[in-house]
Amino acid sequence: MAPTSTPQTPFGRVLTAMVTPFTADGELDLDGAQRLAAHLVDAGNDGLIVNGTTGESPTTGDEEKSRLVRAVVEAVGDRAHVVAGASTNDTRHSVELARAAERAGAHGLLAVTPYYSKPPQEGLYRHFTAIADATDLPVMLYDIPGRSGVPINTETIVRLAEHPRIVANKDAKGDLGRASWAIAASGLAWYSGDDMLNLPLLSVGAVGFVSVVGHVVAPELRAMLDAHLSGDVTKATEIHQKLLPVFTGMFRTQGVITTKAALTLQGLPAGPLRLPLVELSPEETDQLKRDLAAGGVQL
C-alpha cells in the first residue's frame, strides 16, 4: 500500500535520491539496499528515489532496477514513498522501465529530461507524456539542464501539468526566477533538486526536497523544513547556514562518489562504484571528512 499523500505533497516532503549499494565484487546488494532504505526513513525521509542518477542508473540493468524497487518497497512498506527513476533518452525504453517499476510496486515515477539527444520542446512534451500515459502512477518531472543539455521551458512545464498523472517537478535548473514563474503558472508540486537551494526554493513555493545530502543530514533537512513551514525564518536560516559545508563538501566531485564515501565512513551500506565513476582519493576523503565535520555530521 502506498503511503498517504496530498495534491500539495504527492511524494512527501523530504526525499533522498538513494545510492544503490553494491557488494565488494560489484553486484547488487539488496540486503544493503533494504538496510539503507530503512535507515533513511528512520532518519526523517518520507520519500526515497531509487534508480536515479545518484542510484547509478546509467550502469544498472533493467532487471536490477526492478529487483531494487521490490526490495526497497518491501523494506519501507507504507512508511515512505518509493519513487522509481524511469526515464532515459530513449522514450520507448523509458516506457518499458515505467511499466516495470509499476509491476515492482513503485509508488511513483521520476522522469528526467532526455539527455545527450537535445530534443526540442515538443520532443520533451511527447516523451514525458508517453511515460505518464504508460502507467497509473503519478509522475515527477526532473529538470536538470546541466546534465541533460536542454531545460524544460516554463511553457512546456505548464502544458505537461495538464496531464492528470504529471503532478510534480524536481527542479535542478538553478534559476529562482524561472522557478517562481513555473510554480505559479503550473500548479505542480515543486521539489528542490539542488541542496544548496533547498531553503531559497521553499521561499518561492517549493513543497520539499529531493536531496543527496539527505543520506547524512536528513534530520536537519526535516528541521529546516518544519521551521520554514511554521514561520520561523530565523531558525530555518540558521540550519541552512550550518549545513553549508555539507552542501559544498558533498559536491566537490560527483555526488554519488562522495555519498558512497560518506556512507562508508558512517558504517552504512554503500559498497563500490561502477565505472566510469571511481572512488575518492585519500586526499579527497580527508577533505570530505573535514567538510562533514564542519557541518556537524558525526563519522
Residues 63-76 have pLDDT tens digits of: 999 999 999 999 99
Tell me if residue 125 is catalytic. Answer: no
Q: Are 86 and 97 in contact (CB under 8 A)?
A: yes
Active-site position among 142, 173, 191, 260: 142
User: Residue 16: which region, alpha, beta or left (left: phi > 0; alpha: psi -120 to 50)?
Assistant: beta
Q: Are 93 and 61 in contact (CB under 8 A)?
A: no
The per-residue DSSP string of 195-232 comes to: GGGHHHHHHTT--EEEESTHHHHHHHHHHHHHHHHTT-
Q: Could you list the residues known to form a binding site, using ranges.
A: 54, 210
Phi, psi of 120 (to 5 degrees): -70, 175
Q: Find all residues with CB under 8 Å of 282, minimum gap 6, and list them.
A: none
Q: Could you list the residues known to form a binding site for pyruvate, using ranges.
A: 54, 210
Tell me if residue 173 is catalytic. Answer: no
Domain positions in the chain are 14-231
- In angstroms, the CA 292 to CA 294 distance is 5
pLDDT of residue 16: 98
Active-site position among 65, 115, 125, 170: 170
Q: Are 20 and 68 in contact (CB under 8 A)?
A: yes
**Band (106; pLDDT cuts 50, 70, 90):** very high
User: Using CA atoms in the order 27, 30, 33, 35, what is the torsion angle rounded to 10 degrees?
Assistant: -130
Which one-letter DSSP state was computed for residue 10? B
- In angstroms, the CA 259 to CA 298 distance is 14
Q: What stretch of H or E contains 242?
A: helix 233-242
- In angstroms, the CA 180 to CA 195 distance is 17
Residue for cell digits 544548496?
A: 196
Q: Which residues pair with 143 in a beta bridge?
A: 171
Q: CATH number of the domain at 14-231, please? A: 3.20.20.70
The percentage of residues in the chain with a pLDDT greater than 90, rounded to a whole number, is 96
- In angstroms, the CA 215 to CA 205 distance is 24
**For range 241-247, the mean pLDDT:** 98
Q: pLDDT, tens digit, for every residue of 198-233?
A: 999 999 999 999 999 999 999 999 999 999 999 999
C-alpha cell of residue 130: 508517453
User: In this model, does residue 3 exceed pLDDT 90?
Assistant: no
